[in-house]
Every structure is written in structure tokens, then in C-alpha cells.
Amino acid sequence: MRSRDDQDAWETLHRGTDREEFDSPGRFELSRVTGFSPAIAVPVAPETPEVSVPPAQRAPVSRRIQLRSRVRPYARTGGRTRSDHDLAIEALISTSEKGQKYAGVGSVEHRAICDLCIETRSVAEIAAHLRLPLGVVKILVGDMSDAGLVHIHQTGITLGDRSSREFMERVLQGLRAL
């Protein structure tokens, strides 16, 4: 768990510069430029306000995936390859009240995860839906949990734990009984 000073420092570093639109690939309308195919061109996405949007009115996830930029996945995590949270791929993630209102949402990926996790989903499902590496999604979800945007529901079974061994023995006995 991070101390309050570490949290403040992290927020200061990741606050943004109000110049993010200059780095956005969606800023450039490339479909009119000769030499580019429409499949490569990235449509310009309109700026959305940070307000609560009912789930029925949210854009489908597949549409957001098509608008993805060509940024390297680990650039989205600031080069980090590990999360502060030990997330299993089957850990369930749900969007918090704060995440549903997009309060403190820092990136397009965070917003997409908030939208996806209105219905509880596993870390592996999130990675598959967003077409991002599992390690990147673990880092993003860990950051979002620290910011209070999502809730992490761990399965409770850990390797080497006495209760997990007992659980596996009960499963084995049940399979033998079949």
C-alpha cells in the first residue's frame, strides 16, 4: 500500500499537461490524405465531458477498439512491467461509483475499462476485449484501483495456501466420485 506522500507524488506526475490532445493520433484526419488507406486512418473522436453516462447510452466496446491508436502497449503504463497489485488473471473487476462518473479517469484505456466493468469481468476478459497484453491490463487495473475507479474481487485461492490445497483435494475427490 502506498503512503499518502507517494500517492500525492504519483498524482502529480500523472496529472497531465493539458496538451494531451497534441499527442493524440485522433487529432489528425488522415483519410483525406493521399497514400493512406481508410483502414489505417484513425477517425477523429469528439471530446467527451467527464459526466456520468448511463450504460445503455455508452458506445459499444468494439467501436472503441477500432479507434485505438498505434501506441506501444507499455507506453500506456509509463514503461512499467509490473503492478503494485498481485492480480490473478481470473480476478474479477467491477467499476466503482467514482469510475461510473469518470471522476479522475486519466486515459482512454481507463475509460474503456470503466465501461467494460459496469458488468463484472475478469482481468483476462478485459485484456481480450481491449486487445492489450495481460501485463498492461494488470498495471492499468492496479492504477485504477489505487485511484478508486474500480473494485478488485480476488478469488481467494492462492498457490501454496493450505486452503487452496484442501480445495483442490475436494475437487479431485468429486471428480473421482463421478
Please write the tens of the pLDDT for every residue from 83-138: 777 888 888 999 999 888 887 777 888 889 999 999 999 999 999 998 888 888 99
Average pLDDT score over the chain: 72
The domain limits of the chain are 1-45, 60-178
Residue 108: closest CA among 64, 139, 153, 163: 64
Kind and range of the H or E element at 55?
A: none
Residue 21: closest CA among 143, 108, 149: 108
- Cβ atoms within 10 Å of 107's Cβ, excluding its own: 15
What does the block give as the cell for 124? 483476462
Average pLDDT, integer, range 57-83: 59
DSSP 25: G
DSSP 44: P
Residue 139: closest CA among 66, 84, 64: 84
Question: Does pTM surpass 0.85?
Answer: no
Q: What is the pLDDT of residue 166?
A: 79
Share of the chain above pLDDT 70, in %: 53
- Cβ atoms within 10 Å of 142's Cβ, excluding its own: 21
What is the tens place of the pLDDT at every residue in 3-15? 677 677 666 666 6
